[in-house]
């Protein structure tokens, strides 16, 4: 049966009566509710008026319940008890729940995974649940604690903070480019690994005088596969500098040109309001990686 919310008395009045019925005293009920004696008495009187029947009888410094009061007190005791048990179970589950993080698969593999050992050394008791997705995920609907997004940092409904540069670079394997950086004319004659319909990539190439449709290219619509092909010397690749840090450091790829744009970048995003202790710890660690 659906709840008729409009007919229910206020929660404040029900709480005041339930506490009074449990303790049989307005003053003690006021103390546990952290309000005044007068406020509790007023709420109970308002509830009696709304229901059109007496619920309590004043007896010296305490109160007793009428038959109707006993019936309502029993129902409220069961209801508030169920609410309390539900909240306690929820809090216990939330405390143990891994930190849920949404991000792209390529950012997870190329940027986050090489750093996670440091986080787990500092916080071995905190679990992480990574949810790779190329789409922008609604943090509230999907119950995500945090997200890492690529863009300008101005998404509605979330708080964002800069994490790392996403400026684009052109890179290639040493077996393809040799020891000297190729000129723009030389790059125009080389093979490429390009992502189809990627506006930022195409705009960057055109700024250099390279028309994407004129280049000898293999289209791969997956960053991880594109990087794997570039490592094998199959062509130059356009990629975010954040995603090839380890490849450059270990000599698998070499950057031959860098854009100067500060945006877009990678941002940490989260919902406004309080956060679980585990999520706060991971957020603090993420920000220390900047």
Q: Are residues 157 and 275 in the same domain?
A: yes
Q: Is the pLDDT of residue 48 over 70?
A: yes
Question: What residues contact 118, with CB distance under 8 A and at least 6 apart?
Answer: 285
Residue 21: give its domain's CATH number.
Answer: 1.10.10.10
Q: Could you tell me which residues are beta bridge partners of residue 238?
A: 170
Pair 143, 176 in one domain: no
CATH number at residue 233: 3.40.190.10
Name the pLDDT band for 130 (thresholds 50, 70, 90): very high
Q: Which residue has the higher pLDDT, 126 or 134?
A: 126
Q: What is the mean pLDDT of residues 12-24?
A: 92
Residue 212: predicted pLDDT:
95
What is the rounded distance in angstroms from the CA atom of residue 254 to the CA atom of residue 245? Answer: 10
Domain end (from 72, 96, 120): 96
Q: Mark which of 53, 74, 96 sits at the end of a domain.
A: 96
Instruction: Identify whether residues 108 and 125 lie together within a single domain.
Output: yes
- At residue 94, the pLDDT reads 64
Over residues 156-165, the mean pLDDT reads 93
CB 262 within 8 A of CB 136: no
Instruction: Please identify which residue in the block is written with the tokens 């007190």.
Output: 73
Task: State the Cα–Cα distance between residues 38 and 141, nearest whole angstrom.
Answer: 42
**pTM across the whole model:** 0.65
Q: In the predicted model, is pLDDT for residue 7 greater than 80?
A: yes
Question: Quick one: pLDDT at residue 1?
Answer: 62
- Do 181 and 161 belong to one domain? no
Q: Considering its fold, how many domains does the chain have in total?
A: 3
Judgement on whether residues 91 and 198 belong to the same structural domain of the protein:
no
Does one domain contain both 184 and 226? yes
> What would the pLDDT profile of 92-113 be if each residue is shown by its tens digit?
666 678 999 999 988 999 999 9
Residue 54 domain boundaries: 5-96
Q: Cα separation of 36 and 75, whole Å?
A: 25
The residues, any chain, with a CB within 8 Å of residue 245's CB and separated by 6 or more, are 110, 111, 114
Percent of the chain scored above 90 by pLDDT? 71
**Is 79 found in the same domain as 35?**
yes
Q: Is the domain of 127 the same as that of 195?
A: no
Dist. CA 280–CA 262, nearest whole Å: 27
For residue 186, what pLDDT is reported?
A: 95
DSSP string, the chain: ----GGGSPPHHHHHHHHHHHHHT-HHHHHHHHTS-HHHHHHHHHHHHHHHTS--EEEETTEEEE-HHHHHHHHHHHHHHHHHHHHHHHHHHHHHHSPEEEEE-HHHIIIIIHHHHHHHHHH-TT--EEEEE-SSPP-TTTTT-SEEEEEESS--TTSEEEEEEE--EEEEE-HHHHTTSPPPHHHHHTSEEEE-TT-HHHHHHHHHTT--GGGSEEEE-S-HHHHHHHHHTTS-EEEEEGGGSHHHHHTTS-EEEEE-----SEEEEEE-SS---HHHHHHHHHHHHT-
Instruction: Give the mean pLDDT of the chain.
Output: 91
Has residue 218 got a pLDDT over 80?
yes
Which of the four pLDDT bands, split at 50, 70 and 90, describes residue 247? very high
Q: Are residues 27 and 62 in the same domain?
A: yes
Over residues 129-153, mean pLDDT: 91
The verdict on 284 and 146 lying in the same domain is yes
Looking up tokens 């209801």 gives 79
2, pLDDT greater than 90: no
* Least confidently predicted of 77-86, 196-205, 215-224, 233-242: 77-86
By percentage, how much of the chain surpasses pLDDT 70?
Answer: 97
| Close Cβ partners of 24 (under 8 Å, ≥ 6 residues apart) | 62, 63, 64, 65
Q: Which of 96, 126, 157 is where one domain is finished?
A: 96
**36, 87: one domain:** yes
Q: Do residue 27 and residue 159 come from a single domain? A: no
| 59 band by pLDDT with thresholds 50, 70 and 90 | confident
């Amino acid at each position: 049966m659906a709840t008729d919310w409009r007919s229910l008395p206020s929660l404040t009045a029900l709480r005041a009566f339930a506490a009074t019925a449990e303790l049989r005293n307005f003053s003690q009920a006021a103390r546990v509710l952290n309000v005044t004696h007068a406020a509790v008495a007023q709420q109970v009187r308002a509830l009696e008026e709304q229901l059109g029947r007496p619920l309590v009888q004043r007896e010296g410094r305490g109160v007793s319940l009428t038959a109707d009061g006993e019936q309502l007190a029993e129902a409220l005791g069961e209801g508030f008890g169920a609410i309390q048990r539900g909240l306690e179970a929820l809090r216990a589950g939330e405390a143990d729940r891994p930190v849920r993080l949404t991000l792209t698969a390529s950012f997870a593999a190329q940027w986050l995974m090489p750093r996670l050992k440091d986080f787990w050394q500092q916080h071995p008791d905190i679990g992480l649940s990574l949810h790779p997705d190329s789409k922008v995920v609604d943090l509230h609907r999907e119950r995500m604690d945090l997200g890492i997004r690529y863009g300008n940092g101005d998404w509605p409904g979330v708080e964002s903070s800069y994490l790392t540069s996403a400026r684009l670079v052109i890179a290639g394997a040493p077996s393809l480019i040799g020891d000297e950086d190729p000129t723009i004319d030389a790059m125009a004659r080389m093979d490429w690994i390009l992502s189809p319909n990627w506006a930022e990539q195409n705009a960057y190439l055109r700024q250099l005088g390279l028309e994407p449709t004129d280049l000898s290219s293999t289209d791969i619509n997956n960053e991880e596969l594109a990087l794997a092909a570039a490592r094998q010397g199959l062509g130059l690749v356009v990629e975010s500098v954040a995603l090839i840090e380890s490849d450059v450091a270990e000599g698998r790829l070499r950057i031959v040109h860098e854009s100067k744009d500060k945006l877009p970048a990678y941002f940490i995003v989260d919902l406004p309001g309080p956060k679980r202790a585990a999520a706060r710890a991971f957020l603090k660690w993420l920000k220390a990686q900047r």
